[in-house]
Chain A
């Protein structure tokens, strides 16, 4: 039986031309289409985007003539770009801190042998299963300034506290961070929970025998040991902040672009106003911004896997 199978396995390479009988070459050949697809659709496309950012293409008809730094100058002088940069900082700070603090807190609580852990875990991660478009749609309704959550707040007796949420002309972006964190903090919780579960029990017991209380245990044992998870969470939420697009697309850019993002600005300039050169400059800027966020992380993961 065994020998019969191996004879059949041999017969296929025997039919192939000689240069293809080497399994290593077959392996490379099998991978080749994917390499080409990724090289073209990711890396060449990015280079192409960079090139378009130096072109005169600012109408529907294709125009790749060289324009020098025209688009980049236009970008740097566009007040909307300045607002978007400010919004990015506001969003990143609010979103990253919420995801990491809430994610860590919930993971730490769930790690305490909680009754109903499966229920809580399932609920916390459920928003991650739906599209960001759904998050934007539901929260837009909840954050209507004249009603929504504000009704609940008023019913609790804080009638003078009426935040404008995403309609706030300066801090609207912080309302958007809630919609983002609603989706992603459960993901961060799952990362931390897996990290906590990977810490050996002996370590905890040893620390407790040494007289460490819960807070000391977290400060001196768990949080340092979870540093790689925190690094992952920072990179994922950081990259997510730069690419933020869905929510402004659903709820709009707000008063004075208070809830606009680079991603949405790029989309509008390119596909609504046909300013391809300017859109490409925004896209290139987003890429350049992402590289220092992502690269150190990947290098550290790669180094770890080699060990």
Chain B
């Protein structure tokens, strides 16, 4: 009996450890390869430890993509702030000032969110060209703000719907109007949700690739995801640079994930409508 229990217990851990290895191996190989100089890069030595610590690849990758990294920062921060704020005010309207058909509007918001981005790309480029924003950082920020509205509105709606209506009604009796209630009742309760939505939007925008490639394909203006692609399209593949670049591009989102994992998790569960 105790033997079979021991066996079952160790099988559990063996499976968990095997999968942990599966999830970690790509990170491990990225670090390992990024620490080798180009002359030591051979696909046959992929598993070998570097002969000595060499940060040359990281330095070189950073030199080639630092402007892309800062572009990503410049795109992500305003995109996340604006779309989060819009989501908050929209969620407040949907949850506390619902009008005839407002449920349908929210439904259409969410429905649009699940459809493939390819469906809107051609008109998007056309409209951005028309507005003089095509190929510009501001054009991509605007796109992220608009396409972020459905998810952020949904996340805030689901939270505000759980705020008791009595609170809102009580402050209506006190003479508060639409903005008064938002500022005095809703906003002070929203801190954690702002954090969840903000983290979610930062991650999504930072990692976005399709729209960035179409709107900002120009290597100098492109965000990091597109820069990684440009590293992999070179004639002879400089694996060390590519791995270093991929790792550099992942550092901000992994740091956010490790430091704010709980917020990340909540955004994930709420956003998939199963929180």
Contacts of B143 in A (CB 8 A): 41
**Interface residue from A126, A138, A194 paired with B254 (Cβ < 8 Å):** A126
**Known A43-B112, A109-B15, A134-B246; contact A120-B122, beta-carbon cutoff 8 A:** no
What's the minimum C-beta distance from A43 to chain B, rounded to whole angstroms? 7
B258 A122 Cβ-Cβ under 8 A: yes
What's the minimum C-beta distance from B78 to chain A, rounded to whole angstroms? 16
The yes or no answer to B29 lying at the interface (CB within 8 A) is: yes
The yes or no answer to B65 lying at the interface (CB within 8 A) is: no
How many A-B residue pairs lie within 8 Å, measured between CB atoms?
288
A248 to B174, CA, bound (A): 59
What's the minimum C-beta distance from B18 to chain A, rounded to whole angstroms? 11
* Contact segment of A69-77, A144-152, A160-168, A216-224: A144-152
* Contact segment of A28-36, A78-86, A169-177, A200-208: A28-36
* Contact segment of B49-57, B189-197, B224-232: B224-232
The yes or no answer to B58 lying at the interface (CB within 8 A) is: no
A194 B274 Cβ-Cβ under 8 A: yes
A24 B26 Cβ-Cβ under 8 A: no
The yes or no answer to B70 lying at the interface (CB within 8 A) is: no
Q: Which A9-67 residues have a C-beta within 8 angstroms of B?
A: 9-10, 12-13, 23-24, 26-28, 30-31, 34-35, 37-38, 41-46, 48-49, 52, 62
**Interface residue from B99, B120, B239 paired with A42 (Cβ < 8 Å):** B120
Contacts of B97 in A (CB 8 A): 23-24, 27-28
Contacts of B184 in A (CB 8 A): 5, 9
The yes or no answer to A95 lying at the interface (CB within 8 A) is: no
What's the minimum C-beta distance from B68 to chain A, rounded to whole angstroms? 12
B124 A106 Cβ-Cβ under 8 A: no
A106 to B269, CA, bound (A): 17
What's the minimum C-beta distance from B198 to chain A, rounded to whole angstroms? 15
A251 to B27, CA, bound (A): 18
A52 B274 Cβ-Cβ under 8 A: no
A194 B207 Cβ-Cβ under 8 A: no
A16 to B121, CA, bound (A): 40
A133 B209 Cβ-Cβ under 8 A: yes
Contacts of B126 in A (CB 8 A): 62
B177 A13 Cβ-Cβ under 8 A: yes
**Interface residue from A105, A182, A284 paired with B22 (Cβ < 8 Å):** A182
The yes or no answer to A158 lying at the interface (CB within 8 A) is: no
Contacts of A271 in B (CB 8 A): 121, 125, 214
B44 A151 Cβ-Cβ under 8 A: yes
**Known A38-B112, A123-B23, A147-B46; contact A245-B210, beta-carbon cutoff 8 A:** yes
Contacts of A97 in B (CB 8 A): none
B261 A122 Cβ-Cβ under 8 A: yes
The yes or no answer to B62 lying at the interface (CB within 8 A) is: no
Contacts of B213 in A (CB 8 A): 249, 267
A200 to B63, CA, bound (A): 54
Contact with A along B5-46 (1 / 0, CB 8 A): 000000011011001101111110110010000000011101
A130 to B207, CA, bound (A): 7
**Interface residue from A130, A186, A242, A283 paired with B250 (Cβ < 8 Å):** A130
A137 B23 Cβ-Cβ under 8 A: no
A34 B153 Cβ-Cβ under 8 A: yes
**Interface residue from B116, B175, B246 paired with A10 (Cβ < 8 Å):** B175
The yes or no answer to A298 lying at the interface (CB within 8 A) is: yes
Q: Which chain A residue shows the least CB distance to B90?
A: A34
B86 A34 Cβ-Cβ under 8 A: yes
Which of B22, B26, B209 is most buried by chain A, counting CB atoms within 10 A of its CB? B26
B232 A137 Cβ-Cβ under 8 A: yes
What's the minimum C-beta distance from B175 to chain A, rounded to whole angstroms? 4
Contacts of A133 in B (CB 8 A): 207, 209, 225, 228-229, 246, 249
What's the minimum C-beta distance from B60 to chain A, rounded to whole angstroms? 16
What's the minimum C-beta distance from A197 to chain B, rounded to whole angstroms? 11
Contact with A along B214-253 (1 / 0, CB 8 A): 1000000000010011011000000100110110011001
B43 A147 Cβ-Cβ under 8 A: yes
Q: Which chain A residue shows the least CB distance to B228?
A: A133
Contacts of B229 in A (CB 8 A): 133, 249-250
What's the minimum C-beta distance from A285 to chain B, rounded to whole angstroms? 10
A302 to B255, CA, bound (A): 35
**Interface residue from B16, B119, B178 paired with A26 (Cβ < 8 Å):** B178
Contacts of A102 in B (CB 8 A): 19
A125 to B29, CA, bound (A): 18
A191 B112 Cβ-Cβ under 8 A: no
Give me the interface of B with A, judged by CB distance under 8 Å: 12-13, 15-16, 19-20, 22-27, 29-30, 33, 42-44, 46-47, 86, 89-90, 93-94, 97, 99, 102-103, 105, 107-112, 114-127, 143, 146-147, 149-150, 153, 174-180, 184, 203, 206-210, 213-214, 225, 228-229, 231-232, 239, 242-243, 245-246, 249-250, 253-254, 256-258, 261, 264-265, 268-269, 272-275
Give me the interface of A with B, judged by CB distance under 8 Å: 2, 5-7, 9-10, 12-13, 23-24, 26-28, 30-31, 34-35, 37-38, 41-46, 48-49, 52, 62, 102, 105-106, 109-110, 112, 114, 119-120, 122-135, 137-142, 144, 146-148, 151-152, 182, 186-187, 190-191, 194-195, 228-229, 232, 235-236, 239, 242-243, 245-246, 249-250, 262-263, 266-267, 270-271, 276, 279-280, 282-284, 286-287, 290-291, 294-295, 298, 301-302
